[in-house]
Amino acid sequence: MKAFASLFLLATTALWSGCTPSSSQQTIPEEPVTTIRLFEGDNPDPSLVRYKDTYYMVHSSFIYTPGLVVYKSTDLINWTPCSVALPEYAGDIWAPDICVHNDRFYIYFPTRDEKGKTNMVVWTDNPEGEWSQPVNLHVGGIDPEHVAGPDGKRYLLLSAGDLHPLSEDGCSIIGKPEIIYKGWEIPEEWDIESFSLEGLNVKKIGDYYYLLAAEGGTAGPPTGHMIVQARSKDIKGPWENAPANPLLRTESPQEKWWSQGHGSFIDTPDGKLYLLFHGYEKGYLTLGRQTLMREVEVGEDGWIHLKDGQISLPQPPVVKERGIKDYIWQTTQERLADRFTITDDAIIIKGKGNSPQEGSPLLLRAGDHSYEVEACIELNNEKASAGFVTYYDKNMHFGLGFKPGQLLRYRRGAVHRHQPKCNIEMKDGVCKLWVKLRYTEHIVNGWYSEDGKTWHKYPWGFDMQGYHHNTLGGFLSVRPGIYVGGEGEAKITNFVYRAL
C-alpha cells in the first residue's frame, strides 16, 4: 500500500460560467440538467455506500490492475481515490458491491480467470487503508449484492435472483439459495440485446425494501439496457414490480446517453435520494460506460420516480490539463510493482516484449472526445523501444514510438518501422525523443521532436471509432498509455495530458 500514495491525486476545482442576454434579445430557455456525469471515461457498474457523512464508491475493473479502486467524497461531486482493494491481478473483475455491516466495510465481486468463475469478498475496518486478501465464496453468478435483514441475518443476492445465506462474518456461504425475484417482462417489440437479468440492488426506504434490476443487456442496441424496480416488505419477497416500469431507459438513439442501466440508490444526510447508474455516450462508445446520476423521489403512490426539473447537484469540475500525479495508472493483468516505478515527476518502465501485444502498456483513463498526450522519453539501451499507444486490448491497439535510429508504428500486435527526419541515436548511453500523440474524435495522429519545440509528423494515422464492446467484446474502452519494449528501461518526464 506504500506505493499507492504515489499513484494518484485528483484535482477538485469547480468551474462555472454563464451570460445574461439583453431584454431585447429573444432567447430559447435551456433544458434543465437532469443527468450529471460523476466520472468521465470508463467507470462501469458503479457501487456506492454512505458511511456517516462520507461516500465510498467502486467500479468494475475487468482486466485492469490495480483493481477495485476505492473513491471517497463528502458531497457526491468531488471524488478522490483513497485506497486499492486489489493491488494485484485477481482475474477479470466484474460488477462489485461495496457495503458496510456493523462498521466493517466489504466489497463483494465476481471474478473470472483460466480456472473459471467465482465470487469473492475483501473487507477492512478502514476503507482508506489496507484491505484483506480476497476470500473465495465458492459460488458462481455475477453482480453480487449484500443484503441484511431486520434480524441481522446476512445474504448474498446474485444476478439470477438467487439469495444465498451468508455467515455472520460475511465471508462464506452457509446454505442453499432460494430464488426470490425473476425480473420484469420486457415488451417484445422493444429493441434490446437480451433479457439478461443482472445488477440487482436492494435498499430499505420507509416501510419497503426497493429492488432495482438491470435488464435488456448491457450493450447492444442503445435502447436495450434499463433499470426496473420492485418492492416488498420482506427481503425474501414476494416482490411487486412497479406498474410504471422501467424506472430509467434510453428510449431513442437520439438521446445523449445510451444503454442506461445498472442502477442503485444513495441517500444523503439531509434526506435527498439519488439514482446512480452507467451509460455510453452517443457517438463515443470508445470511452466505455460512464458513471451517471439522477435525482429521484418517493411518490404518493409509494414508488420511486425520477424527479422532474434541475438536479439539485452541480456539474462536477472539468480539468483540462493533467500530469503524472493526477492519474490512476493501471496495467492489464500485470502487477504494477514488477515493471513500473511512478513518482510525481517521472515514470520508469522496464521493457517487455516487442509490441503492446507482449507487454502491457501503462494506461490512464480518458474521458474527452479529443485529447493529446505528450512526454520526453529516454531509452537507456540500444535494444529498447517506447512510445504512446491508444489501447483497447493486446490485440486491438494503435501507437507511435521509436527505437534508436527508427520510428515505430504499433498496430494490432505488429510493429512497422520508418526512417525519422531527425537524429534519434544513442548519445552518452541515452536515446531521447519527445513524442506527442493526438486523439481527435477517434482519429489518431502523432508527432516527434528532438527538443520539444520543432516537431515532425509521424507518417501514419488511424481511425479507432469501432473499438468498443459492441464490435470487440470484453467490456473495455480505448485508453491512452505508454508502452516500453525490448531490453533496458525508458524514463518518461514532462508528461502532460491535454483535453482539446
Tell whether the model's pLDDT for residue 452 goes beyond 70. Answer: yes
Are 125 and 237 part of one and the same domain? yes
Is residue 158 domain-resident?
yes
| pLDDT at residue 243, rounded to an integer | 98
Mean pLDDT, residues 419-433: 95
- Tens digits of residue pLDDT in 198-247: 999 999 999 999 999 999 999 999 999 999 999 999 999 999 999 999 99
170 and 244 both lie in a single domain:
yes
In this predicted structure, the answer to whether residue 67 has a pLDDT above a threshold of 80 is: yes
- Quote the pLDDT of residue 30: 64
Task: Please write the tens of the pLDDT for every residue from 358-408.
Answer: 999 999 999 999 999 999 999 999 999 999 999 999 999 999 999 999 999
Residue 398 CB partners (closer than 8 Å, separation 6+): 389, 390, 409, 410, 411, 412, 444, 462, 464
Q: Are residues 291 and 325 in the same domain?
A: no
Distance CA 459, CA 339 (A): 30
In a domain, 25, yes or no: no
Same domain for 38 and 127, yes or no, is yes
Averaged over 474-493, what is the pLDDT? 97
Model confidence at 12: pLDDT above 70? no
Given a cut of 50, whether residue 19 has pLDDT beyond it is no
Domain presence at residue 420: yes
Which of 242, 277, 306 is the C-terminal boundary of a domain? 306
Least-confidence region, from 26-30, 132-136, 263-267: 26-30
Domain boundary among 283, 306, 329: 306
What pLDDT score was predicted for residue 115?
A: 83
Same-domain pairing of 302 and 329: no
Distance from C-alpha of 121 to C-alpha of 407, rounded to nearest angstrom = 46
Strand partners, 343: none
| Confidence band, pLDDT 50/70/90 cuts, at residue 29 | low
Decide if pLDDT at 22 tops 50: no
Output the pLDDT for position 290: 98
Kindly tell me if the per-residue pLDDT of 309 is higher than 50.
yes
Q: The domain spanning residue 331 has which CATH number?
A: 2.60.120.200
122 and 216 in a single domain? The answer is yes
The closest alpha carbon to 289, from 35, 64, 45, belongs to: 45
Q: Binning pLDDT at 50, 70 and 90, where does residue 114 land?
A: confident
Does one domain contain both 300 and 335?
no
- Find the CATH number of the domain harbouring 119: 2.115.10.20
221 and 279 assigned to the same domain: yes
My answer on whether 262 and 393 are in the same domain is: no
User: Per-residue pLDDT averaged across 24-40, rounded?
Assistant: 74
Q: 121: burial class by Cβ within 10 Å (0-12, 13-18, 19+)?
A: buried
Same-domain status, 80 and 213: yes
pLDDT at res. 408: 98
Residue 17, in any domain of the structure: no
**Is the domain of 336 the same as that of 296?**
no
Q: Do 302 and 382 fall into the same domain?
A: no
**For the chain, what is the domain count?**
2
Note whether residue 12 is domain-resident: no
* Structure confidence at residue 9 (pLDDT): 35
160 in a structural domain: yes
Residue 7 domain-assigned? no
pLDDT surpasses 80 at 17: no
Q: Is residue 311 part of a domain?
A: no
- Given 306, 340, 357, the domain boundary residue is 306
Output the pTM of the full model.
0.92
pLDDT value of position 14:
32
Instruction: Domain of residue 207: give its range.
Output: 30-306
